[in-house]
Amino acid sequence: MASKQSKYGTGSELLKARREELGLSLRQLSAMAGITPSYIKDIEKGRYIPTITVTLQLLESLGIPMKEYLEAVGYKDTKKRVGGRRGLEPRTR
The pLDDT tens digits of the residues spanning 32-87 come to: 999 999 999 999 998 998 999 999 999 999 999 998 888 888 877 656 555 655 55
SS3 18: helix
**Rounded CA gap, 48 and 90, in Å?**
29
Residue 72: what pLDDT? 83
Instruction: Give the single-character DSSP code of 1.
Output: -
- Half-sphere exposure of residue 63: CA atoms within 13 angstroms, side-chain side: 7
DSSP for residue 87: T
Task: Tell me the CATH number for domain 11-73.
Answer: 1.10.260.40
Q: Model's pTM, two decimal places?
A: 0.73
What burial class does residue 71 get, using C-beta atoms within 10 Å of its C-beta: 0-12 exposed, 13-18 middle, 19+ buried? buried
Closest CA to 40 of 5, 22, 15: 15
Contact 30/40 with Cβ under 8 angstroms? yes
Q: Give the start-to-end residue ranges of the domains of the chain.
A: 11-73
